[in-house]
A = this chain, B = another copy of it.
Amino acid sequence: MLLGRIAGTVVATRKEPLMEGWRLLVVQQLGVDNQPTGGYVVATDAVGAGVGEVVLYASGSSARQTEITRDRPCDAVIMAIVDTFEVGGAEVYHK
């Protein structure tokens, strides 16, 4: 899993029927210093994340192991909202 920050939203009306009902969020990847790495992904929201929140997301087939994404064409899912993370004994982020 990787750390990311919710940066925006994507709207698509013409789509694979199996995507119906998904919230599609733009997630900026974060490094362990809580700074953007420059990468991003558009992920399906499984936990009700809001713009600006720090989250964990899973990629690949593992992204299909949630109730709303199972057997659907999803390769990235937001699976947790991060409360805190620490690196090297120091708290880097606190919600």
Contacts and interface: CB of A to CB of B under 8 A. Distances in A.
B79 A1 contact: no
A48 to B, nearest CB: 8
A19 B89 CA distance: 24
Contact of A80 (B1, B19, B43, B61): B19
Counted per complex, copies of this chain come to 5
Given A28-B32, A62-B61, A82 B1 contact: no
Interface string A3-26: 100011111111110110000101
B86 A74 contact: no
B65 A62 contact: no
A2 to B, nearest CB: 6
Interface of A: 1-3, 7-16, 18-19, 24, 26, 28, 31-32, 40-43, 46-48, 51, 56, 58-66, 71-77, 79-89, 92
